[in-house]
Amino acid sequence: MTAKLMLLVEEAEKVIAGFPVSISAEPVPLAESLGRCLAEDVFSPGDVPEFDKSAMDGYAYLSGDASTEFRIVETIAAGTPPRVVVSTGQCAKIMTGAMMPSGADRVVKRECTVEENGFMRIVAAETNVNVRRRGEDLKAGKLVLDRGTRLRPAQVALLASLGVAVVPTARRPRVGIITTGSELVEPGKPLAPGQIYDSNSYSLSAQIREAGAVPVRLGRVADHEKATAKAIASAIDECDVLILSGGVSAGDFDYVPSALKQAGFTLYFEKIAVQPGMPTVFAGKAEKCAFGLPGNPVSTFVIFEVFIKPLLLRKMGHACFPQQQPAALASAFSRSNCERTAFVPVILRDGRAELVSYHGSAHLHALGRANALLRVPAGQKAIAVGCTVDVRLI
């Protein structure tokens, strides 16, 4: 397959979405399941609640019992089964979450009663039944969580409440990161003239981990075609997806596209009509795939969010629906060149998208201030203040 010179954003998204993925299950302990995606549907193993239980601290008695006072036959704590059947003129003192005794079908909360000498009297009207019935939340066998659900704290709590100790999750893809460029230096070391710090491998590692996958930092490679091809060939055995940062443009030392071909990859495209990040490469080799990203840090970040993150989530069985929402543009936007779809850093606050001072794809400080990306379609030069726009949370 010959890579098309440049694809529209929508075309590139379609190509990546069509890349075949396989999902394998990996059981993990519940305590380690946060952020993982379910590999199977989860059904309730039993009724929830498991038994009729009191929703209040109070007294359990028989509804319709017109007695003026009720003899307290026992006290029932949560976790302790009742021992006595409640009859007319009787009640059981009961705590929140405790099992309802036989013969009783409602609870009067403590605040509506007076207790004296082993008897209880109701002194204020109580309209609520205050009983949680067996199975009112979930019936045994009911679908609780769908396959592909990404587990957040609420889902982890739900699984714990069902007694699930081991969770059938999708295996997390391993994502290799190679940065190219002889000018790159590890943070913490002194810079020589002409050198810069490697921010992209750290940015990508954080984004990969936040997506739920496993980052594998494979180091840096100098701007040399054979060295780049060798690094790709050895790296692909360690990971499911490979990301190379830098070396994809049209400069004399941009070797990634040719190195991917040497390593046996088929190139699907080499450019996207997107700003920032136009020289983006996507390639595949059997079930493995690779991305070549521009070296500019904002480009690397944006391309990951828009194009790579959906693929990683799909590899974990999770359909990616970007967190997009409408917002009112706080100030007018304009650009001189509108041939490409643009993603512009903005601050989303109180339903308004505020533009930040942005100097282009190397301006990482602007991205650090933003919490969303404004999508400006190709062909659109300007957006007036107050217009409703779509922003993508980052």
Whether 126 and 207 share a structural domain: no
Average the pLDDT over 233-252 and give the result.
81
* Span 304-350, pLDDT tens digits: 999 999 999 999 988 666 778 899 999 999 999 999 999 999 999 99
What pLDDT is attached to residue 94? 98
What pLDDT is attached to residue 141? 96
Q: Is residue 98 part of a domain?
A: yes
Q: Which domain holds residue 161?
A: 26-47+136-170
- Give the CATH number for residue 204: 3.40.980.10
Q: Is pLDDT of 44 > 50?
A: yes
Instruction: Among 99-108, 161-170, 224-233, name the one with the lowest average pLDDT.
Output: 224-233
What pLDDT is attached to residue 265? 94
What pLDDT is attached to residue 252? 46
Q: Is pLDDT of 246 > 50?
A: yes
What pLDDT is attached to residue 249? 60
Instruction: Among 250-254, 311-315, 386-390, name the one with the lowest average pLDDT.
Output: 250-254
Instruction: Among 3-17, 54-68, 149-163, 371-385, name the one with the lowest average pLDDT.
Output: 3-17
**Considering its fold, how many domains does the chain have in total?**
4
DSSP characters for 255-270? -HHHHHHHTTPEEEES
What pLDDT is attached to residue 270? 93
CA separation for the pair 5, 352 (Å, rounded): 37
Whether 19 and 34 share a structural domain: no
Residue spans of alpha helices (H) in 309-393: 309-315, 364-369
Cis peptide before 276 (omega within 30 of 0): yes
Contact 126, 111 (CB under 8 A): no
Average the pLDDT over 17-27 and give the result.
93
Of the three residues 257, 290, 315, the one that is the final residue of a domain is 315
Whether 162 and 34 share a structural domain: yes
| Torsional sign, CA 338, 343, 349, 354 | negative
Whether 177 and 156 share a structural domain: no
Whether 181 and 283 share a structural domain: yes
Tokens of 292: 């070549």
The rounded mean pLDDT for the chain is 92
1 pLDDT band, cuts 50/70/90, is: very low
Contact 35, 299 (CB under 8 A): no
3 pLDDT band, cuts 50/70/90, is: low
- Give the CATH number for residue 328: 2.40.340.10
Q: Is pLDDT of 28 > 90?
A: yes
What pLDDT is attached to residue 363? 73
* Span 256-306, pLDDT tens digits: 888 899 999 999 999 999 999 999 999 999 999 999 999 889 999 999 999
With a CB cutoff of 8 Å and minimum separation 6, the contacts of 66 are: none
Q: What is the pTM of this model?
A: 0.82
Burial of residue 248, with CB atoms counted within 10 A of its CB: 0-12 exposed, 13-18 middle, 19 or more buried: buried
254 pLDDT band, cuts 50/70/90, is: low
